[in-house]
Structure formats: structure tokens, C-alpha cells
Amino acid sequence: MENQRNISEFILLGLSYDQNIQIFCFVFFLFCYLVLLVGNLLILFSIQCSPLFNQPMYYFLSHLSLIDICYTSSVTPKLIGDLLVERKIISYGDCMLQVLIMHFFGGTEIFILTAMAFDRYAAICKPLHYVIIMNRTRCNLLLLAAWAGGAIHSFPQFFMAIGLPFCGPNEIDHYFCDIFPLLKIACTDTYITGVLVIALSGMVALVTFAVLFVSYGVILFTLKNRSAEGRHKALSTCGSHITVVILFFVPAIFIYLRPPTTFPEDKVFALFYTIIAPMFNPLIYTLRNAEMKNTLKKLSIKLCFQRKHTFKEQFVQQRDI
């Protein structure tokens, strides 16, 4: 690849040239990233240390939280750091690695959300067979398929990116490395590559979103025969899933399912599926879920009791000394 490029680094133009806006964005996105980390780590810890881990929905949710942390961490720390410097530089190797990691974890998240929709379908539409359908072996197979799907989705785009020749401009009009902004500065005809990206990203997102939309439609149609209490409980979990799906898929479809070009608005839409949606996931799944709220309360009480007991033991030991 070395003979196909004359550059060793790219310059990211970022979100804005205005210094005041950059300071505001620094504070805002630092807050968002901390909320994302704390929220998702809290979900991971809560599920791992409670009986909820044995339930398929929460088993998938713990993996979704892990994916969100890895996915956002591939972009957000770099974005936050760049808001404090004038020249936002990323090396060629880091740029290509960012393309790979972004699409790998993004693709894996798409398939995990699909597995979670299948779990809700089995729980609501096939309640008598739910335990058999969603046994731990099948859950593990669905997760393995999700990780494999993320790899199958990301590696072709990674190889397309490293195959692009760069011989002139090296300014990327974005806050992270993505395939469409790279196509814009490549010194070759990128029409076929652009079509392949639309097929691999845009069509995958659209088809998956359509499947999820239909599955949740079937679930909601099934709920009309349930009691008011049953409908409320099912809607509380399905409502959370639908909100997450909309926040993640709609911006992604807008960006990737169109002719290979870039617009200034792309940065704003990209913020939704790289930072905003992963940040809201913990809030959506905990505030609208009674089981998660009860588990968090029990763990908080348990931790407070342990700290109080530990403090008491230390006090007794120091007194004896």
C-alpha cells in the first residue's frame, strides 16, 4: 500500500472552527462519555452480580453494554482530546484502525439488537416454549453469530479503505475516520467502492431495521389479547428496545443509504449513533425496567452495608491496637 499514498497522516476538521463552540462541545461530550461509561459499567456489574444474568434478555443487555463501551471508546476520547487542540491529526494507521473498529463494533451492535428483538418475540409470542427456545446454548450461538456478523461487516470495508490511494489533500471533513469521508479525498474513481459501502452498510442497516420494525409490529399486535398488566409489562421492555433501535438505526441509514457523498449535517447525525444513543441506552433500559431498578437498589443497599461493615471492622481493629 505504501506506493499508493504520499501521506502518513490525516487532518480531521472536527465539528466546528469556533473556539467557544469547541469548549462547549468539550464539556458536553466529556460529560456524555462519563455518563456512558458509568451507566454501562453499572449495568454490566448489576447483571453479572444478580440472578438477572440467567435471563436471556439481560444476558444480551450485558453484552450490548460492553459493545457500547468499546464502540464509543473508539471515537469519543479522540474527539474530546481534539477539541482542545488546533490541529486535529490522526496517523494513517490509526485512521484505518478506527475504520475497522468502528464498523466491527457497530455491526456487532446491530446483530445483538436483532437477537434481543428475537428474544422479546419468543417471550411474548411463544411464552410456553420460551425456556426451550431461548436456552443458554442458543443465546451463546446468537451472540457468536453477532460477533461473526460484525467481523464480516467490517473487514471488507477495512480492506477497501486501505486499498484507497491518497496522493494529495489529507483533510477529512469529519471528527473521525469513516469510509465516505475517505472516499472524498482519495485520488481515484471511487464509484464502485461507494456502491459497495452502500450495500455493506446502508442496505444492512435498512434490512435489519425493517426486520426489527416488523418483529416489534407482530409483538405489539399480539399484545392486544393480553391483560392490561401483561401489556404494560411487555410494553415497558419493548418500548425500551424500540427507542434504542430508532436512535441507532435512523441516523445510520440517513448517512450510509445514499450516494457516496458527505454533507455538513453528517457530523450531527453521526453523533447520535456514536455517542448519544450509547449514552442513553443505560438510562432507557433502567428507567423503564422495574427489574433493573430493583436490582440496582438491592446492589446499592448491599454495597452500603458492606462498606459500613468494613468500616466497623477497621474501627474495631484500630481501637484494639
Residue 240 C-alpha cell reads as: 425500551
204 occurs within a structural domain: yes
The pLDDT of residue 291 is 67
The pLDDT of residue 29 is 92
The pLDDT of residue 289 is 64
45 occurs within a structural domain: yes
Q: From CA 259, how far away is CA 263, in angstroms rounded?
A: 11
Neighbours of 210 (CB within 10 A): 11
The pLDDT of residue 306 is 60
Query: Tell me, what amino acid is at 157?
Result: Q
Q: From CA 162, how far away is CA 95, in angstroms rounded?
A: 10
Residues 275 and 77 sit within 8 Å (Cβ to Cβ): no
Q: What is the DSSP letter of 261?
A: -
**Cα 2 → chain centroid:** 33
H or E stretch covering 91 = strand 89-91
Full domain range(s) for residue 130: 9-290
The pLDDT of residue 97 is 94
| CATH of residue 71 | 1.20.1070.10
The pLDDT of residue 290 is 65
Which residues lie across from 136 on neighbouring strands? none
What crossing angle do the helices spanning 56-73 and 19-48 adopt, rounded to 10°? 150
Q: From CA 44, how far away is CA 86, in angstroms rounded?
A: 37
Q: From CA 165, how far away is CA 2, in angstroms rounded?
A: 9
312 occurs within a structural domain: no
3 occurs within a structural domain: no
38 occurs within a structural domain: yes
Q: What is the DSSP letter of 49?
A: T
* Number of domains within the chain: 1
The pLDDT of residue 2 is 45
The one-digit pLDDT tens for each residue of the chain (321 residues) are 444 567 788 999 888 788 888 899 999 999 999 999 988 888 888 888 878 788 888 899 889 999 999 999 999 999 999 998 888 899 999 999 999 999 999 999 999 989 988 888 888 888 888 888 899 999 999 999 999 999 999 999 899 989 888 887 888 888 899 888 888 888 888 888 888 888 888 888 888 888 888 888 888 787 777 766 666 666 666 777 788 888 888 888 888 887 766 666 778 888 888 888 888 877 777 765 666 667 767 766 766 566 555 555 554 455 555
Residues 293 and 286 sit within 8 Å (Cβ to Cβ): yes
Residue 51 C-alpha cell reads as: 440472578
Nearest to 104, CA basis, from 28, 156, 50, 61: 156
Nearest to 95, CA basis, from 164, 146, 4: 164
227 occurs within a structural domain: yes
The pLDDT of residue 265 is 73
Q: What is the DSSP letter of 126?
A: -
309 occurs within a structural domain: no
Grid-cell match 449495568, residue found: 43
Nearest to 201, CA basis, from 245, 250, 157: 157
Residue 122 C-alpha cell reads as: 419468543
93 occurs within a structural domain: yes
The pLDDT of residue 79 is 92
Q: From CA 201, how far away is CA 222, in angstroms rounded?
A: 32
Specify the 3-state DSSP secondary structure of 163: coil
Grid-cell match 458509568, residue found: 38
CA-CA distances (angstroms) from residue 314 to 62, 308, 320? 35, 10, 10
